[in-house]
Structure 1
């Protein structure tokens, strides 16, 4: 089976690398970028088909990250992808450097006022990539698929004819 790497995956990574491509990046943010790049070695991109509709509660629990406090929450959820506390701190530093800009958008899912899920959505031409999906155990989004569907609906992707891709751990489907 041939592994397909869509352009939108490369666009997302380039956008993320640019976030620390500044005059005086912190050492921690650079280590966080390196840690994130290492995580990508265990990722694959698969085609995604839209699933069932989401509940009003699931949709209402999804928020576009558009100010720093939400960015910190997003970063903390992303840091749970690694066990090492030093690497977690570096990932938080890396993700909190994000400046909100196209083609990428960050989303958080809240349940009972607590951030429980995160995802990054990249839109490039007629392609959409859902990546960096983290879902902690909660009742509102019992599966990653529930959160992914809510994010796609909230971001307006369901009203387009874009090809949708999902970045996930190699050999471990996020869709169940």
Structure 2
């Protein structure tokens, strides 16, 4: 039986980390407006790991906390990926804006919403059911995948 993938909650200092984790297909909530007490309650209630650079907040989170000493996005991402054995390749399965799983969209349904420069070869298309953001595998996806490779290249999963 495979263990359930860890779910995360990034505090207000780690919004960029939340987006990169989402690109990997990892469920990472980011609610920067919530005070610490609400973040702690949400992490416990939803079984999420609260990722923070705040020592006191991580201490209060206990088993639901993950303290990051790193301050550079690549180092933060490597630390979380290796510590929790996360995938190190882009998945393109979650909305980068709101964290919901995206759903496939037929190319004909996506076409009216695409910039003129995006060709038919850009499919597959996906859309977030919550915020309606449309995604496709264009140059931005290739650049993000290359940046991930640069940040995570050679990362051994599951080792801290």
Shorter-chain TM range is under 0.3
Q: Which has the higher contact order (CA 8 A, sep 6+)?
A: 1
Relative to the length of structure 2, the TM-score reads: 0.23
Structure possessing the higher radius of gyration over alpha carbons: 2
